[in-house]
Amino acid sequence: MSLAEGVLQLIEDAARREGFGRVTAVWLEIGELAGVEVEAMEFCFDAVVRGSVADGARLEIVATPGSGWCMRCAAAVPMHEKFAACPQCGESGLRITGGTEMRVRELEVE
């Protein structure tokens, strides 16, 4: 719920700054390793935007893949779990390089 409230705060800040009155769609980028349950975000978003500039806005989730760096292979590798082993050599302790972010990517406004 707090993540959805944070998204709404970003939207309301943008509305004040840019002077738009209504948001009709929100594109939210969520990384595979961000630890965000997409279904919960969709449910919470619908609840927290009621009565706001984003009331009734369509939420579009854009998933971004997880990625990491293997020191042993010296290679960028895909990651699907935070503590995964390297898919090439089996080494544990990959350094996460992508897929942990969550950000508002785009707003459709009136």
Plot region of 87 (φ>0 → left; ψ -120 to 50 → alpha; else → beta)? alpha
Over residues 26-51, the pLDDT tens digits come to 999 999 999 999 999 999 999 999 99
**What CATH topology corresponds to 2-65+99-109?**
hypothetical protein PF0899 fold (3.30.2320)
| Percentage of the chain lying above the pLDDT 90 cut | 97
The count of other CB atoms within 10 Å of the CB of residue 105 is: 13
Q: Report the distance separating Cα 109 and Cα 32, nearest Å.
A: 27
pLDDT above 90: residue 97: yes
pLDDT given at position 71:
92
**pTM reported for the whole predicted model:** 0.86
Q: Report the distance separating Cα 63 and Cα 31, nearest Å.
A: 6
